[in-house]
Structure formats: C-alpha cells, structure tokens
C-alpha cells in the first residue's frame, strides 16, 4: 500500500512550486517593465515596486494556503481549485525531479481534495440527494460476458468481481452507479445525472485528471487496487466506498 506524503511534505512541495511560479512571474514583470523604461525612465522604479508587491502578495497567499491546507478548509481564495488545477502539474514534474514519487504525490493530492470536499459537504449533507458512483470498466472481471457498461443491472451478482458488492450496497444506500469505459463516457454520465456528490474509483492518474476536469463539482476519489497490473481485473475495497456513503447518509 503506497502511503501518501504528510501534510508538511505537501506544504513544502507547494511552497517550492508557488515560490518558483511566483518568482518567475515577478521576474517576467520586472524584465518587461525595465525593458520599457528606456521610453519612460520612472518605469525602472515601478518595476522594483511591482516585483516587491508580487512577492509580498505571494507571501500572504502562502500564509492563506498553509492555514487552508492544515485545516482542510477553503479560505477567501479558493485554495482547492488553485492547488488542484494550477499547482499539481508543475508540482508533480518539479517534485519528481528532486526525488519525490509521482504516485505518492498524486495520492496525497487526491486525499487533500477528498478532505476539502468532505469538510465542505458535511455542513450541508441534507442537500446531498443524488450520489453517483463512477467505476472504471477494468473493475469488471475481464472474462465476464455480461455487459455492465451499458447497464450495471446486467450483472448476475456471481461475486467474482466487486460489481456485485456495489449492487448489494445499493440495497442499503441510495446512489446511482455507472461503469465507464473512459473519460468521455464518465463526463457524459455526470452531465446527464447532475449528481450532488461523485465517488470516483480509478487509478492515481485518472483520478487526478477527473478531479481536475470537474472542479466545480464535489468529487471524492477512491483509489483502485491493481493486483494484476494496470487496467486489467482491477478492484477496490468496497468498505472504503461504504465508509464515505455512511458519512453522507
């Protein structure tokens, strides 16, 4: 079982990412303003002020980000969106270069996203009427002849894969379930069903891109297990999904 990084490590990676992104932006503004100062000399002074202002704003944002990440709460500035949409890609390539593990990092960001979503939703859990569980098609036993991607009720509940566990779970909890063959189908299902909460099961890479694509929605990512390698006869711990469902029932 791959362990996600600690909050402190994640904060370190975010500071490094934010520092480099902010520094490059400030240096870019400074360079452009200095270049134009030959036409308007006071611009040279303004360039210094602009550089310092950007760095100061970056410092303030770092404080807001730290508090938000520690408390797992959105601040005045939407921190989840900034981290997941804008910082993860750069953070991932940077962190890999300095020796961090890409999968552990993705897991850490998925857990961070889940904590944010759960905290936000818990306040008004009564409003969560429609829950959608999105499963990847590789979770179905590859040799099964019953096509669950068109209709999950085609499953005969033989118990050879976890689809049957989810169908049994649906007798206790109210949720909609969709087995998707890819991102396009998953997006279509989300658009069609308009859920208040999505529980998405997938690998690190697919969960990260799915969460990024649906940042306006409440998505909780649950990592699959791959005892036979990626994309083939994968599985998931149904109890992990059930635990989330219990939280919102």
Give the orientation angle of helix 88-97 with respect to helix 102-123, to 10 degrees.
Answer: 150
Binding flag, residue 117, ligand SF4 (CB under 6 A): no
Kindly identify the residues of this chain, within the stretch 159-188, that bind ligand SF4 according to CB under 6 A: 159-161, 163-164
Between CA 106 and CA 217 the distance in angstroms is 19
CA-based radius of gyration for the chain: 22
Select the span of 5-13, 111-119, 121-129, 144-152 touching ligand SF4 (CB under 6 A): 144-152
Question: What count of other Cβ atoms lies within 10 Å of the Cβ of residue 144?
Answer: 16
Give the orientation angle of helix 88-97 with respect to helix 7-36, to 10 degrees.
Answer: 100
Binding flag, residue 141, ligand SF4 (CB under 6 A): yes
Between CA 115 and CA 111 the distance in angstroms is 6
Task: Pick from 148, 186, 197, 201 the residue near ligand SF4 by CB under 6 A.
Answer: 148
Least spacing, CB of residue 133 vs ligand SF4, in Å: 15
Kindly identify the residues of this chain, within the stretch 3-42, that bind ligand SF4 according to CB under 6 A: none
- 69 vs 163, beta carbon nearer ligand SF4: 163
Binding flag, residue 147, ligand SF4 (CB under 6 A): no
The count of chain residues that interact with ligand SF4, using the rule CB under 6 A, is 14
- 161 vs 198, beta carbon nearer ligand SF4: 161
Task: Pick from 17, 113, 114, 140 the residue near ligand SF4 by CB under 6 A.
Answer: 140
Binding flag, residue 144, ligand SF4 (CB under 6 A): yes
Between CA 83 and CA 87 the distance in angstroms is 5
DSSP 38: T
Binding flag, residue 146, ligand SF4 (CB under 6 A): yes
Select the span of 118-126, 155-163, 214-222, 223-231 touching ligand SF4 (CB under 6 A): 155-163
Least spacing, CB of residue 231 vs ligand SF4, in Å: 16
Closest C-alpha to 4, from 215, 13, 244, 226: 13
Phi, psi of 129 (to 5 degrees): -100, -35
Least spacing, CB of residue 139 vs ligand SF4, in Å: 9
**157 φψ region: left (φ > 0), alpha (ψ -120 to 50), beta (else):** left
Least spacing, CB of residue 179 vs ligand SF4, in Å: 9
Task: Pick from 133, 138, 155, 211 the residue near ligand SF4 by CB under 6 A.
Answer: 155
Token pair belonging to 214: 């649906």
Least spacing, CB of residue 143 vs ligand SF4, in Å: 8
Q: CB-hemisphere CA count at 13 Å for 102?
A: 11
Q: Where are the beta strands (DSSP E) in 138-196?
A: 176-180
């Amino acid at each position: 079982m791959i362990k996600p990084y600690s909050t402190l490590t994640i904060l370190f990676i975010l500071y490094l990412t934010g520092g480099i992104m902010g520094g490059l932006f400030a240096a870019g503004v400074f360079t452009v303003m200095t270049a134009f100062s030959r036409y308007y000399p006071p611009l040279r002074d303004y360039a210094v002020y602009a550089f310092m202002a950007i760095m100061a704003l970056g410092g303030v944002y770092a404080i807001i980000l730290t508090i938000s990440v520690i408390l797992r709460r959105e601040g005045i500035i939407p921190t989840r969106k900034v981290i997941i949409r804008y910082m993860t890609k750069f953070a991932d390539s940077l962190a890999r270069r300095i020796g961090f593990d890409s999968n552990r990092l993705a897991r850490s960001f998925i857990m961070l996203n889940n904590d944010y979503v759960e905290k936000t939703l818990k306040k008004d859990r009564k409003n969560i009427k429609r829950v959608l569980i999105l499963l990847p098609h590789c979770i179905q036993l590859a040799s099964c002849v019953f096509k669950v991607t068109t209709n999950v009720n085609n499953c005969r509940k033989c118990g050879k894969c976890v689809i049957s566990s989810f169908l049994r779970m649906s007798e206790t909890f109210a949720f909609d379930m969709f087995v998707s063959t890819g991102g396009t189908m998953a997006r279509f299902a989300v658009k069609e069903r308009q859920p208040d909460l999505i529980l998405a099961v997938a690998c690190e890479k697919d969960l990260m891109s799915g969460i990024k694509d649906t940042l306006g929605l409440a998505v909780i990512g649950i990592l699959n297990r791959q005892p036979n390698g990626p994309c083939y006869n994968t599985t998931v711990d149904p109890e992990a999904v059930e635990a989330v469902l219990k939280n919102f029932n």
